[in-house]
Structure 1
Amino acid sequence: MADYDMVIAGAGIIGVSCALWARMRGLRVLLADPNPPGSGTSSGNACTLATYACLPVNDPSVLRSLPSLMLSGDSPLGVSYAHALKNPRWMLAFLANCRAAPSARIAGHLAALMEQADDGIDPLIEAAGAQDLVEARGQLNIWSTAAGAAAAEAGLQRRRALGVAWREVSPREAQAMEPGLKLPIQRAVHFHQARHLRNPQALIARMHQRFSDLGGSSVTAPVEAVQAGQDRVTVTVDGQRLSADHAVIAAGAYSGRIPGAGTADLPLGTERGYHLMFQGEAHRVTRPVGWAEGGFYAVPHADGLRLAGTVEIAGLDAPVNRQRLDYLARRGAEMLGPLPAPSSEWLGRRPTMPDSLPVLGRSARSPRLLYAFGHQHVGLTLGGLTGRLIADLAQGRDPGLDLAPFAASRRYA
């Protein structure tokens, strides 16, 4: 008999969701991570259960705007040219997926996941007793330029065609909804079915506590190696070799660094994101507000105002880019008026495949090896669903969703 039914590498929102779903199903689970649950990239996001976010970062507008995005000091995109030159496979595949046809195909696959996202996370919120952390005020997206407002139309209509509910609000209504906004508003859209969390890390901590209360096991150590066969997996954790019926690779941007996991050759990249926190300033907005041209969200967090977002294409281990933080501070003041000095700052590493789709399902190396990583900007939104899908696969259940588009062996461009 194996030591565990499942050993999970990674205790972010994906790994903890996998652990809690599996334990609620009665599986014997070990969760391994060198850091406290939810303390990594999962802790610093824009706090939004963004079921509307079916449009990939890969968009034809990226190709049209690439020179200005890369060269402007007011761009929400930053690129390390040294990193790009060292990783041409990822960069070229990413740009290839910005063409109209691939982008539309990717949006359809993401929409299929988003349609079931709430059914994946809501049982975990209930199990963790975390309903008090969830706010149902929707998400407001604003455009401050006429050009930006016009350019948004195609994407909004694509969302609607894919089943995403939204309503147009007038600039005056948007200003009434969020009086703290100082920008000129040319257009505004309310994704009224979206929700946000007062503190994502608190949710993950409660989920992990529920997992522990149900008898789940955790270790504060990394998965050091995986040896997968057809019938069983041997996992090395903290120098100890353990046997399991299944191993789950859910280590986010670090998933490619686990020896034997079969992930080292996958084109897993990193979209680095940043946030600034302003203690005592949460009243500036009442719900997540996304400024489209700015490329970030202003979010009311339990600890203050959070300005979160932007994209930096750079190495996993590259140092903090102060220009990205300065950008958020400068543009945040444009959006909301003068702000005090931030109380804290943060860098997170979004795990991103060049087609902006997660890797979900069984490894071609072994059916006992399950992949759950690469969720880019929507890990918080899709974490619960991913956990349920992984539990289904581990138990031999039909996941009720075609996982072929998310297979590790797919074509990425």
Structure 2
Amino acid sequence: MADFDIAIAGAGAVGMSCALWAQMRGHRVLLMDPEPPGSGTSYGNACTLATYACLPVNDPSVLTSLPGLMFSRDSPLSLSYAHALRNPRWMLSFLANCRAAPSHRIAGHLADLLSHADAGINPLIEAAGAGDLVVARGQLSVWSTGKAGKAATAGLERRRALGVPWREVGPDEALEMEPGLHLPVKRAVHFHAARHLRDPQEFITRMHRAFTELGGSTLTAAVEAVRPSACGVELQAEGQSLTAGHAVIACGAFSRRIEGTGTQKLPLGTERGYHVMFRDEAHRVTRPVGWDEAGFYAVPHANGLRLTGTVEIAALDAPANKRRLAYIARKGAEMLGALPEPDSEWLGYRPTMPDSLPVIGRSPQSERVLYAFGHQHIGLTLGGITGRLIADLAEGRQPNVDLAPFAADRSYA
């Protein structure tokens, strides 16, 4: 008999959700990660359960505004040209998915998955005893120019057509909702069904505690290789060998580094994201506020004000880009008024496929290997439903979500 029913590589928001769902179903589960749960990319996110986030980064506007995005000092996008030249197929596939038809199709698939997000994460919030971390004040998006606000109309109407609720907020009401805003508000939209977590790291810590109390096991080691067979898998982790009925690959942007899983054949890239923290400034906003043109969020975190976001296309092992951090701090001061020096800075690695869709399902190489990565900006939001779907697959159940759009062997162009 195998040592475990399910072994999960990766203890971020997605991997931890997979582990807790499987343990709640009564399986013998092993969670494997060289670092503490939630301490990687999941640590530094925008804290938002962004059920409205169905519009992909692959948007037609990218094609028309690409020169400005790439070369402007005030651009929320940064691109390493050396990295782009080393990965031309990924870049071309990403741009191909920015055309109107693929972009609209992707938005539909994301909206469908996001419609199940609350049903996936709410049981985990309850199991973790984390209700006190959840704040239901919605998310406010603002535009500081009339041109940008008008340009957002098509995307907002697309969201509404896909079932995402939102309401228009006048500039005066937006400033009443968030009096700390200093930028001119020309348009504002309130995604009133959204929620946020006061501390995502604490949420994942509590999930891990619940997982352990239910009998789950944790191994502090990196999975290096997986050898599937007809009846299970053998996992190699820093000199140790373990067996399981199924292996789940949930290592985010690092998922291609595990040998024998088939992930090396997939076009998994990285959108590097940054945040800066201001310990005594959490009062500046009362909910996540996104400044659309600047491409970042201001979020009230339990440990202070977090300014987070932007996109940097660069290699996993490239050094931190100080210009990205300076950009966020500078735009934060434009948004909220003068701020002190940040108390901390952070760089994380969003796992990104060129079509902005996650990979959820069985490996083409073996039904014993399950994929759960590539969630890009919304791993915290989609972690719960991904965990439930992975548990279904491990049990041989038919999931209630069509997983064909998220299959590993889909077309990415």
TM-score range, shorter chain: over 0.9
In structure 2, distance between residues paired with 1:230 and 1:321: 46
Question: Residues 27-176 of structure 1: matches in 2 within 5 Å?
Answer: 27-176=27-176
- Is 1:354 equivalent to 2:349 in the alignment? no
In structure 2, distance between residues paired with 1:97 and 1:200: 31
Q: How far did 1:240 drift?
A: 1.5
In structure 1, distance between residues paired with 2:233 and 2:412: 27
SS for the counterpart of 1:183 is: coil
Q: How far did 1:238 drift?
A: 2.7
Per-residue deviation, residues 73-126 of structure 1 (Å, max 9, x unmatched): 000000000000000011000000000000000000000110000000000000
In structure 2, distance between residues paired with 1:259 and 1:208: 26
In structure 2, distance between residues paired with 1:212 and 1:278: 33
* 1:251 alignment partner in structure 2: 251
In structure 1, distance between residues paired with 2:20 and 2:397: 17
In structure 1, distance between residues paired with 2:302 and 2:187: 28
Q: How far did 1:237 drift?
A: 1.9
In structure 1, distance between residues paired with 2:364 and 2:261: 11
- Is 1:344 equivalent to 2:320 in the alignment? no
* 1:389 alignment partner in structure 2: 389
Structure 2: runs of 5+ lacking an equivalent: none
Per the normalisation by structure 2, the TM-score is 1.00
Amino acid at match of 1:352: T
**C-alpha contact 2:97 2:103 (8 A) present in aligned 1:** yes
Amino acid at match of 2:334: E
**Runs of 4 or more off by more than 3 Å in structure 1?**
none
* 1:280 alignment partner in structure 2: 280
In structure 1, distance between residues paired with 2:302 and 2:102: 39
Q: How far did 1:397 drift?
A: 1.2
Per-residue deviation, residues 150-178 of structure 1 (Å, max 9, x unmatched): 10000000000000000000000000000
Q: How far did 1:230 drift?
A: 2.5
SS for the counterpart of 1:287 is: coil
In structure 1, distance between residues paired with 2:404 and 2:273: 29
* 1:374 alignment partner in structure 2: 374
- Is 1:12 equivalent to 2:9 in the alignment? no
In structure 2, distance between residues paired with 1:376 and 1:402: 19
Structure 1: runs of 5+ lacking an equivalent: none
Amino acid at match of 1:150: K
In structure 2, distance between residues paired with 1:401 and 1:132: 29
In structure 2, distance between residues paired with 1:354 and 1:230: 32
Per-residue deviation, residues 4-59 of structure 1 (Å, max 9, x unmatched): 10110000000000000000001001100000000000010000000000000000
Amino acid at match of 1:237: A
Per-residue deviation, residues 163-208 of structure 1 (Å, max 9, x unmatched): 0000000000000000000010010000000000000000000000
Per-residue deviation, residues 340-388 of structure 1 (Å, max 9, x unmatched): 0000000000000000000000011000000000000000000000000
Amino acid at match of 2:228: A
* 2:270 alignment partner in structure 1: 270
In structure 1, distance between residues paired with 2:281 and 2:314: 31
SS for the counterpart of 1:98 is: coil
**C-alpha contact 2:224 2:257 (8 A) present in aligned 1:** no
Per-residue deviation, residues 249-289 of structure 1 (Å, max 9, x unmatched): 00000000101111012100000000000001000000000
Between 233-242 and 300-309, report the one with greater CA deviation.
Answer: 233-242
SS for the counterpart of 1:383 is: helix
In structure 2, distance between residues paired with 1:77 and 1:174: 26
Q: How far did 1:229 drift?
A: 1.8
Q: How far did 1:239 drift?
A: 1.2
In structure 2, distance between residues paired with 1:229 and 1:171: 60
- Is 1:191 equivalent to 2:191 in the alignment? yes
Per the normalisation by structure 1, the TM-score is 1.00
In structure 2, distance between residues paired with 1:140 and 1:83: 34
Per-residue deviation, residues 188-246 of structure 1 (Å, max 9, x unmatched): 00000000000000000000010000010001110111011232111112311111110
Amino acid at match of 2:58: N
When the two chains are superposed, the root-mean-square deviation of aligned CA atoms in Å is 0.5
Amino acid at match of 1:340: P
Between 220-229 and 288-297, report the one with greater CA deviation.
Answer: 220-229
* 2:401 alignment partner in structure 1: 401
In structure 1, distance between residues paired with 2:224 and 2:258: 6
In structure 1, distance between residues paired with 2:64 and 2:192: 30
In structure 1, distance between residues paired with 2:54 and 2:231: 37
Q: How many residues matched?
A: 413
* 2:235 alignment partner in structure 1: 235
In structure 1, distance between residues paired with 2:389 and 2:316: 27
In structure 2, distance between residues paired with 1:135 and 1:89: 41
In structure 2, distance between residues paired with 1:55 and 1:306: 23
In structure 2, distance between residues paired with 1:386 and 1:355: 18
Percent of pairs with identical residues: 74
Amino acid at match of 1:326: A
Amino acid at match of 1:316: L
In structure 1, distance between residues paired with 2:74 and 2:226: 44
SS for the counterpart of 1:5 is: strand
In structure 2, distance between residues paired with 1:125 and 1:158: 30
